[in-house]
Each structure stands twice: as structure tokens, then as C-alpha cells.
Structure 1
């Protein structure tokens, strides 16, 4: 998905090099994150891993709901816990994400 930002930056370079540069940097950042960050669904929690190490765990018992925004072009994953709200850019397969969410925390 981040490749679309990089391609979009190429198109935007006709309009503005500054805007194209910002979009390209965002695309490159998300590309790097695609290789470093992983989500791990367990029976009790959603874990966020960076380079194989758990950096954050979100127990399903604290979740209130979740949503994948803009289903035609899924770009944002949202979930709400008892004390906080989380938004994650979708830099992975949205169908696999939805299937895992339905399996571990169905609506």
C-alpha cells in the first residue's frame, strides 16, 4: 500500500515539489514500517512486534470495538479500548486483518 503514496508523489511533483517530497517521505517511512512492524493475534491479545520483539500488547478484554475505515480502499484500522483510542495505518492485507479480527474479537 505505501507504494501508492510514492507513486502519488511522482504525480504530485508536477504540482508542487514540496508536497511531493512530503508524500514521498511518508511513503518511504511506511514502506520501512511494513518490513519492521508485525501484528500478532493471540487468544488473549493483539501484540505489536518490531523486528520480532513485542513492543506493545492490547488485551481483547480491554477492547470496546474496532473498525476498518474506507472498505473500498482500506487505509485505516481503528480500535477502542476502555481508556484509549488507537488508529493504525493499514500497511498490510486488509482482508487478512479483518479475518483475524473476526476470529479473535468478533463484532
Structure 2
């Protein structure tokens, strides 16, 4: 958030040469960004009669509209479906078809979902959309309602597990007052998800990539 803080102030004193009372007015303009001073401009007027000075301090704060945050769409990540398909292949090679079949089907499902499902982080909410054209995903098949949740309603969120994220979890109060939990497989870039969630939904206590 950037802002401009302008202060108009007046000082009166006796002139050493004429012995008359002299008024000086000064206009300070401070340009701030996130509370840090960027630059400071001062203007001094010799004659109070030609300025809007008064015998009191006038302060005004003009806040400029904050620059809108960009929409972030994390890149697809195929690691989980590839691992599952590789595991299914290994099980099939060992003639363990009973276990290979469900693992392989899950891998194929996640592979398909990775090519079409998108997490879209816009200015105010996380939304699930479909395809590169970002089509609407419709209502949530499990809890109902649109697959769009405002960051302001998030109670908590986690990324499991940091080194190789498999699931992203979050709880929000938008769907129902007592809170609704959501789990999604991490078929997107886990680092990108963590960074944008941290920025827009606040910090998470235990999740996120560990610092090396």
C-alpha cells in the first residue's frame, strides 16, 4: 500500500532586522510505501497571506489505491501420477494385479486431472477451474456450492508433506459457519502453492518447503 502524507504547518517569530512578527509556512509531502519513506518534498512560503496557512496545523492523508495483486495459476506437477503409475507397473511385474489395478487407476485419474484442473489465485479468492481456458468447474460434488473460497474465510491450511507435497488442506468458513475442510492432491507446483497461500491466506504453522 502506497500513500502520500502531506502536512502544512506555520511558524511565527520576530524578525531580528525589523522587529516585526514574521510568519513562515512549510508544506511537507512524504511519500510512503508499506510504511517506509520513499521521498520527502518540502515547500516554504515567505508570506502567509499568499498561502492557505492558518494558526493551526493542517494534516491530510491521501491514500492511493493499492496495486492489485496478479492472478497466480501454479504450474501442473505430474510427479504424483507418475510415481503411482510406476508403482502400479512394479506391482503388475510381480503379478500382484489385485493391488496394481487400483493404484494404476488412481495414477491415471490424477494424470488426467493434472492436465485439466487449475488452481486460480485471484485478488480475493482461490477458485478451481478447468482447462487452459479456465472454464467454470461447477458446484462442489461433495459439499455443494461454487468451487471458489475467499481468503478472508480461511481458518487454517496445510501442505502435506513439505519435501514432497501430496495433499493440500484448508478449512474455510464460507461454505458453512462451523467450517468446511477441503483436501486436494498436489498435482500443481507445491512451492508455488505454498508461496501464494502464505501471501494471501496468511502463515501456516507446520507446512511449507523447508529452508535449506
For this pair of structures, how many residues does the alignment match?
107
- 1:38 is displaced (CA, Å) by 0.2
TM-score normalised over the length of structure 2: 0.49
Counterpart Cα distance in 2 of 1:103 and 1:94: 14
Which secondary structure does the structure 1 equivalent of 2:164 belong to?
Answer: coil
- 1:72 is displaced (CA, Å) by 2.0
Any unmatched runs of 5+ in structure 1? none
Alignment RMSD: 1.2
Higher relative contact order, chain-length normalized (CA < 8 Å, sep 6+): 1
Aligned counterpart, 2:150? 59
1:18 correspondence with 2:102: no
Any unmatched runs of 5+ in structure 2? 1-78, 138-146, 174-178, 204-212
Counterpart Cα distance in 2 of 1:92 and 1:5: 16
TM-score normalised over the length of structure 1: 0.93
1:84 correspondence with 2:163: no
Moved beyond 3 Å, runs of 4+: none
- 1:54 is displaced (CA, Å) by 2.7
After superposition, what is the alpha-carbon deviation per residue over 1:24-78, rounded to whole angstroms, capped at 9, x for unaligned?
Answer: 1100000000011000001210010012213221111211011001212210000
Matched-pair contact (CA < 8 Å) for 2:156–2:172:
yes
Greater Cα offset, 9-18 or 75-84: 9-18
Matched-pair contact (CA < 8 Å) for 1:42–1:104:
no
Greater Cα offset, 10-19 or 60-69: 10-19
1:36 correspondence with 2:116: yes
Greater Cα offset, 48-57 or 73-82: 48-57
